[in-house]
């Protein structure tokens, strides 16, 4: 069934029938890993505050706001009819400092972890030291002897490129054909080397990995398999837990939380889902959103083949206006972790991306990029698909939906140049 809908490029809701919660995890990861990542980011906070002055006010903690968006709920209801019942919130990773996208979480984390390893190994710092030291000339001199490489559709490259250059590393970003010109220009302005490919994301990763492996001073950030990236993303869940508490938003047996995450290779939405499941268990319900032309995670889950199948294998192009989600093959590591945890996936056509984006702008005066606007598909289609009713019944949630909270995870936007924003706002398909 799901395979047929995927092949036909239909919009639909895929329910994950293997969902059974954390007890079903077959990969050896847990809360300790998230806490370790969180502690590392705290150690680096004084360094981050120094190197990225825009984070100084938050004492070097890179975090985004969680904001109620009641006007957007009204606007969506007016445009589409009944939407997800309960409170609608926006998680504004679109406005994260440094990288302007969700990639500021995983990407920067892995670069810092690598810098820490080198600095410890070379005796530049010792456990317990103040990490501000790593912003001094001696440390930069050391880091300049090392290279970081990464393959990207755009935003991961931005995050790794800007962070690595700020730390002092040499950095090469391998960009797939989907990557937007302004992202390449912005990176070059930071002194990052950008190599462009006429092929898709998988090719950019493959070439980047090969070049990096040939160079002993080079470290490859592997979006398809990296546990570090994944844990950097997972820290978001700890922080969200605190924000929900501060805003007195309950998540428990009577107050379910639904989270809608746009998905590319799976690392960002997967890390966050893993973290949220560790914190809220069965009370949180995470759904991914993917373009109908590049539904790699849905395909990997529905077929059970994870990274052993590409959207091209079933005749899909992989081409989408959602450049951050233009991935044909999901991460195998993330797919396996998601098997017992993910509630399901919505696939969607590109046209609605721009409509949701415009509605958020007109109702709440918040601009997010089209890939990020995908998150609203879950809110809009909540009452439309009979599969969702099945899901609510299965989880005994039907009479609790007035108490529900829904978080649309806005994954990027603030770095989009004004003229490109205008172009997006005009786009109708």
Under rule CB under 6 A, residue 272 binds ligand PLP: no
Mask of contacts with ligand PLP, 160-199, x by CB under 6 A?
Answer: ----------------------------------------
Contacts 24+ apart (CB under 8 A), 67-76: 67/92, 68/247, 69/360, 69/363, 69/364, 69/366, 69/408, 71/363, 71/364, 72/359, 72/360, 72/363, 72/364, 72/376, 73/379, 74/363, 75/359, 75/362, 75/363, 76/356, 76/359, 76/376, 76/379, 76/380
265 binds ligand PLP (CB under 6 A): yes
What is the number of alpha carbons within 13 Å of residue 304 lying toward its C-beta?
3
**33 binds ligand PLP per the rule CB under 6 A:** no
269 near ligand PLP (CB under 6 A) = yes
Q: Which is nearer to ligand PLP, 49 or 99 (CB)?
A: 99
- The upper half-sphere exposure of residue 284, i.e. CA atoms within 13 Å in the direction of its Cβ, equals 25
Asked whether the CA dihedral 94, 96, 97, 102 is positive or negative, the reply is negative
How many Å apart are CA 233 and CA 236, to the nearest integer?
Answer: 6
| Position 111 contacts ligand PLP (CB under 6 A) | no
Of 41, 181, 162, residue with least CA distance to 98: 162
3-class SS of residue 351:
helix
For ligand PLP, the closer CB: 6 or 134: 6
- Residue 66 or 205: which CB sits closer to ligand PLP? 205
Q: How far is CA 171 from CA 32, 112, 116, 193, 424, in A?
A: 31, 14, 17, 6, 30
Beta bridge partners of 405: 87, 257
Compute the least distance from the CB of residue 273 to ligand PLP, in Å.
11
266 counts as binding ligand PLP under rule CB under 6 A:
yes
412 binds ligand PLP (CB under 6 A): yes
Touching ligand PLP, residues 287-326 (CB under 6 A): 324-325
Radius of gyration of the chain (CA): 20
If binding is defined by CB under 6 A, does position 151 make contact with ligand PLP?
no
The answer to the question of residue 149 lying near ligand PLP (CB under 6 A) is no
Among 302, 372, 397, 407, binds ligand PLP (CB under 6 A): 372
268 binds ligand PLP (CB under 6 A): yes
C-beta of 149 vs 155, nearer to ligand PLP: 155
Q: Which is nearer to ligand PLP, 48 or 268 (CB)?
A: 268
Instruction: Report how far apart, in Å, the C-alpha atoms of 318 and of each of 212, 222, 295, 378, 387 are.
Output: 26, 20, 8, 21, 26
For ligand PLP, the closer of residues 52 and 230 by Cβ is 230
CA distance 332 to 354: 30
Please tell me whether residue 267 binds ligand PLP under the rule CB under 6 A. yes
- Please pick, from the candidates 38, 64, 155, 320, the single residue that binds ligand PLP as defined by CB under 6 A: 155
Angle at 48 between CA 333 and CA 108, to 5 degrees: 20
| Binding segment toward ligand PLP, per CB under 6 A, in 96-104, 109-117, 242-250, 304-312 | 96-104
Q: How far is the CB of 212 from ligand PLP (least distance, A)?
A: 19
Nearer of residues 168 and 335 to ligand PLP, judged by Cβ: 335
Residues 218-257 that bind ligand PLP (CB under 6 A): none
Which residues, 6+ apart, have CB-to-CB distance to 307 below 8 Å?
224, 300, 329, 330, 331, 332, 335
Whether the Cβ atoms of residue 217 and residue 145 lie closer than 8 Å to each other: yes
What is d(CA 70, CA 363) in angstroms, rounded to the nearest whole number?
9
In whole angstroms, the minimum distance from the beta carbon of 239 to ligand PLP comes to 18
- C-beta closer to ligand PLP: residue 5 or 103: 103
Hey, what are 257's tokens? Answer: 């939380």
Applying the rule CB under 6 A, the residues between 54 and 93 that interact with ligand PLP are none
Give me the least distance between CB of 223 and ligand PLP, in Å please.
7
263 binds ligand PLP (CB under 6 A): yes
Q: Which is nearer to ligand PLP, 262 or 335 (CB)?
A: 262
Binding ligand PLP (rule: CB under 6 A), the pick from 5, 40, 91, 103 is 103
Site residues for ligand PLP per CB under 6 A: 101-103, 155-156, 262-269, 324-325, 327, 369, 371-372, 411-412
């Amino acid at each position: 069934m799901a395979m047929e809908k995927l092949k036909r490029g239909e919009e639909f809701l895929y329910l994950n029938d293997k969902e059974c919660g954390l007890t079903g995890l077959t990969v050896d990861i847990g809360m300790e890993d998230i806490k370790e990542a969180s502690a590392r980011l705290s150690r680096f906070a004084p360094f981050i505050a120094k190197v990225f002055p825009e984070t100084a006010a938050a004492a070097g903690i890179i975090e985004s706001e969680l904001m109620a968006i009641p006007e957007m709920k009204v606007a969506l209801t007016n445009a589409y009819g009944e939407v997800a019942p309960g409170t609608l919130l926006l998680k504004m990773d679109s406005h994260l400092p440094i990288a302007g996208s969700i990639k500021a979480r995983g990407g920067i984390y892995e670069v810092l972890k690598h810098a820490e390893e080198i600095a410890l190994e070379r005796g530049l710092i010792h456990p317990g030291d103040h990490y501000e030291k790593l912003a001094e000339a001696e440390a930069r001199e050391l880091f300049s002897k090392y290279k970081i490489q990464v393959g990207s559709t755009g935003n991961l490259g931005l995050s790794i490129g800007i962070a690595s250059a700020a730390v002092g590393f040499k950095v090469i970003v391998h960009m797939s054909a989907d990557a937007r010109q302004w992202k390449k220009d912005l990176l070059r302005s930071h002194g990052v080397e950008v190599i462009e490919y006429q092929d898709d994301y998988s090719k950019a990763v493959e070439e980047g990995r090969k070049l990096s492996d040939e160079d002993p001073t080079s470290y490859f950030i592997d979006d398809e398999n990296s546990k570090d990236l994944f844990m950097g993303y997972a820290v978001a869940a700890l922080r969200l837990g605190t924000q929900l508490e501060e805003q007195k938003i309950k998540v428990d047996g009577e107050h379910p939380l639904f989270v809608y995450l746009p998905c590319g290779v799976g690392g960002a939405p997967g890390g966050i889902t893993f973290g949220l499941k560790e914190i809220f268990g069965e009370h949180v319900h995470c759904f991914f959103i993917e373009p109908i032309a590049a539904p790699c995670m849905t395909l990997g889950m529905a077929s059970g083949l994870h990274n052993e199948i590409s959207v091209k294998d079933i005749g899909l192009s992989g081409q989408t206006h959602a450049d951050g989600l233009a991935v044909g093959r999901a991460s195998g590591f993330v797919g396996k972790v998601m098997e017992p945890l993910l509630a399901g996936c919505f696939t969607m056509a590109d046209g609605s991306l721009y409509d949701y984006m415009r509605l958020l702008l007109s109702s709440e005066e918040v601009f997010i990029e089209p890939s990020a606007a995908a998150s609203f598909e879950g809110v809009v289609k909540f009452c439309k698909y009979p599969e969702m009713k099945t899901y609510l019944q299965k989880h005994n949630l039907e009479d609790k939906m007035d108490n529900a909270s829904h978080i649309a995870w806005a994954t990027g936007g603030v770095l989009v140049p004004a003229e490109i924003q205008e172009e997006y706002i005009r786009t109708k398909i």
